[in-house]
Each structure stands twice: as C-alpha cells, then as structure tokens.
Structure 1
Amino acid sequence: MYNVGIDIGSTASKVVVLDDSKKEIVFKKVMPTGWSSVQASRDIEEWLLANGVTEDNRKVVATGYGRVSVPFADKVITEITCHGKGASFFNPGKDITIIDIGGQDTKVISFRDNFVDDFKMNDKCSAGTGKFLEVMAGRLGVDLDEMFALARKGKDIKISSMCTVFAETEIISLIGKGTPKEDIACGVIHSIINKVIILVNRIPKSDQYFLTGGFAGNDYMVEHLQELLKADVSTHEDGRFAGAIGAAMLAK
C-alpha cells in the first residue's frame, strides 16, 4: 500500500509517495501549479498512475492552497497540520518550530509532543514571501540563485516599503540612483528575513527551528535566520516537500 501526500500550493505543487512504513520516500515530484490547481491535480493523477500508484493500492491526502481541487483524495487536511507532521519526518521525536516561507504566505508553526500547539501566518500581503523575492529578482534581471549570490557580495540597505508594489517602485528608484545591484539584492532578502523574524517572535521562543518551503536548503537564509534568532536553524534539501510528506504520513 502506498501513502500519497499532495500539496498544491499557489506557486508549486509537491507530491510524495511513502511506503507503508511511512519511513521511505518511494516517489516525489514538484511541478508548477500554473493557472489552474484543477489541472495540476489531473497532471498529478496521470503521474501517479504512470508510476503504478493506483486507486487499488493507495491512500491519498491533499493539502495546501488547492487541496479542494483533488477529487481523488481520500481526505483533505490543512497545511498547518501537514507541515508540522512533515517536519517531524526530518526531526523525529523533537519539539521544533517550523518556518515555512511559501509563494504567497509565510507560516511559523510550533510543533510539540507530536502535535501543532500554536501557529502564526502573515497577513494577506506577499511582502514576506517567495513571490515578493521572485518579483524583485525579475526587476533586477536575475534568477533567485543569482539573487542570493549577489546578496552575499552586497551591503544591507533598508527597503522600507511593506507592500510589494511600493517596494518595487522603491527598487526602481534605487536602480536609478546607481545603487549597486548587490546591495539591492541584500536589502531585499534581508527585508524578507526581518518580516519572518517578526512573525517568529509572536510565538514562544524555541531552541530548534526548521526551515521548509521554497528556500529549504538555502544556506544564506539559514545563516541569517540563525544570526537573528540566536538559535539553531536546520533545513533539508527535501524540506520543500514537508507539507506533502506530512499529508502522506497522515494518509497512513
């Protein structure tokens, strides 16, 4: 029997297939959600069938922004619960606080005694999310990897605008003044990190943080979160699959 977790986010959709022991990832896939989460779920179903994961040998839990768009799911569960459970896959038996920087929202989840005991989310604004960084990278004419490489060489400058639209205008002004691209990249990334820290500080302090979402495995993000939180921040290259992993664990 396969346990399938599907996390349809606003930007990317992640799928994880666990074996029946819930300890081994058999298959995994990430793909752009695109304009339609319904179409994304159809593409996922085709991929599952192509890998021999059928209605007869699977249990499916869907989570994320587009979880209601998965008609073949046996159950839908909120991303807060699934991210908490998924992070425990990488940190078995530990009490941790999860920082999930997604495409359209950022979540901070306190996971204690194998359950979510508190969480906070940013408001309906992309200024502290991956989408914000994507927009700003586009304005600088670089991709996200290049953005982080530039930031390592730059000096932090304050990006004061709290809104993505106004921040983009602010960056255009900085470009016009001849501000080095490296400094702008550094300022943009640090503005996201500072917003994440504000969110983290709204729940009880933790000794152990775990980074998931699109920046999982990003050394720059981890280093600066550790510096500001004055605590250990770990991550994993598969951390972006945390929601899907948690959904698959709960499918058991």
Structure 2
Amino acid sequence: MNYVGIDIGSTASKVVARGPNAFHFVLPTGWSSKETTMSIKDTLLEKGIDVLSDDTKTVSTGYGRAAVDFSDYTITEITCHARGGRELAGDNCSIIDVGGQDTKVIIVVNGTVQDFQMNDKCSAGTGKFLEIMANRLGVTLQELFEMAEKGTVLPISSLCTVFAESEVINYIGEGRNREDIAAGVVDSVASKVAQLCQRKVLSQNTILTGGLSHNEYFTKILSQKIGHPVASTANGRYAGALGAALLAEEKASKNAPQKV
C-alpha cells in the first residue's frame, strides 16, 4: 500500500508519500487549488503512484483540502499538523506552525491535542507578510533574512499588513538601511508569533514547522521572544502532509478486514 498526505496551503502545497514508494515534494499553490491538485495527481503518477488505485490511500488537509476530489479522507489542519509534529518531536510537544496565511500553536500531550490557538485573520504574523515585505525591498525571502542578521531593528508596530507596509515605505523614503528595515520586518513577525504563543503554556520540547522551520535565524529570534528554546526542523514545512500520510495509513489499518 501507498499512503499519501496532501497539504494544500495558501502559498505552497506539500505532498508526502509513504510505503514502498516513499518521497515528498512541494509545489506553489498558485491562484487555483483545483489546478494545483491536478498537478499533484500528475506528479504522483509520474513517480509511480496512482491515487485512483485500490492500493493507495490519500488524506488531504490545509486551506484547499476540499479541492482534492480524489482523497479518501479530508482531515483538519490541526489534527494533521499535530500528528506530523508528534512524528518529528514525540508524543509530548508544542508545535508552532508559521504558514503563508495563518499561524498555529498546537499543544500535544501524550499523543493527543490538548489545546491549540490560531492567529486572527490579519496576515501580519505570517509568511505572507514576509513575502510582501521582501518584494517591497526588492529581495528574495532568503536575502531578507540574510540582511536582517546584519541590521539593527527598526520598530514596525502596526498589527495590520497594509499599515505595516506603510511604515516600511516611510523608512525607505527616509533613506534607512535595507538591513535595518529587514531586521525590523523579521522582528515584527517573530513578536506577533510570540504573542500568540504566550496565550498557551508551551512545553520545553517546542518545534517550529511551516515554511520558516529550517530558518535558524528566525528560530533564534523567536526563542528569545518566547523565553525558551524553539527547535528548527529540516523538513518542518511537510509536517501537515506527513501527518496526513500517517493518518491515511492508520485509518487504512483500522478499516482493514480482520483475519479469522
């Protein structure tokens, strides 16, 4: 059997396949989750997995999970990210997921979701805000972080992305260093994520997932603001898709006919 987890995010779509044919990949979500879903289906087939066959079970999750019309199960982001986080960090952990559209804090105790918190609708504490600000500064996301490490933080206090962008535009107009503006942008996002985390009691075993999960600089800043270590994860952006694939396997095992 092959077990496939598909996490259709607002910015990127992640896929994890488990079983004899194991691999993972990511695609931009683009403007249409439906089109992205078809691209995922084609890519899986190229890699040897036919999602319509009886020997494949699929779970979809994320912002566009309803668009995956060939999935066997549709499961919420919280459940899938918690399952993927457990696989990465163990049965007692806290998961901070900074996505393109939202940020989630999930508390897992003895393998079960004990509590969770999601940010408000504003994107100022998410990856989308960083992308917007990187575009405004004319750099890539990676370059934004490299610049931020060299800069001195300029305060960006607005909670709204539109007003925060206005602050950045004002700094640019004043001729401030891009490194300092970049440092302010990253610090602003880390502060907003930390504020969300402070609403919950995090365990010492706390990991970062999502698109920034491998970024050691962001992880360091976030750790300082929360007041205890947050561990970066190399494949943390796949946490939701990994959890979905694991749940597909667990559901298939539970529903399998018992031998007499």
C-alpha displacement at 1:228, in angstroms?
Answer: 2.0
CA contact (8 A) 1:208 1:231 kept: no
* Partner secondary structure for residue 223 of structure 1: helix
Deviates more, 1:231-240 or 1:149-158: 231-240
From 152, 160, 170, the equivalent of 2:167 is 170
In the alignment, is residue 46 of structure 1 matched against residue 26 of structure 2? no
The equivalent of 2:73 in structure 1 is 75
Unpaired segments of 5 or more residues in structure 1?
A: none
In 1, Cα distance between the equivalents of 2:69 and 2:173?
A: 50
The equivalent residue for 2:83 is 85
The one of 155, 162, 166 equivalent to 2:152 is 155
- Native 8 Å contact 2:89 2:205 kept in 1: no
Distance of 1:169 and 1:91 partners within structure 2: 39
Partner in structure 1 of residue 233 of structure 2: 236
Is 1:9 paired with 2:5?
Answer: no
Distance, in Å, in 1 between the alignment partners of 2:161 and 2:94 is 27
Does structure 1 residue 219 correspond to structure 2 residue 228?
A: no
**Which one of 56, 59, 78 corresponds to residue 58 of structure 1?**
56
CA distances 1:139-197 after superposition (whole Å, capped 9, x unpaired): 11111111001111111121011111111111111111111111100001000000001
- Segments of 5+ residues of structure 2 without an aligned counterpart are 250-260
Alignment partners' CA distance in 2, 1:235 and 1:160? 26
Match of 1:121 among 118, 122, 147: 118
- Count of aligned pairs: 247
User: Which of 177, 181, 193 is residue 180 of structure 1 equivalent to?
Assistant: 177
C-alpha separation in 2, matches of 1:50 and 1:138? 34
Establish whether residue 131 from structure 1 lines up as the match of residue 128 from structure 2: yes
Q: Does 1:250 align with 2:218?
A: no
Match of 1:116, as an amino acid? V
TM-score, normalization: structure 2? Answer: 0.92
Counterpart-to-counterpart distance in 1, 2:169 and 2:49: 49
Give 1:198's match in structure 2, choosing from 195, 198, 201.
Answer: 195
**What is the CA-CA distance between 1:205 and the residue it aligns to?**
3.1
SS in 2 for 1:203: coil
TM-score, normalised to structure 1's length? 0.95
User: 1:248 and 1:146 mapped to 2: Cα distance?
Assistant: 33
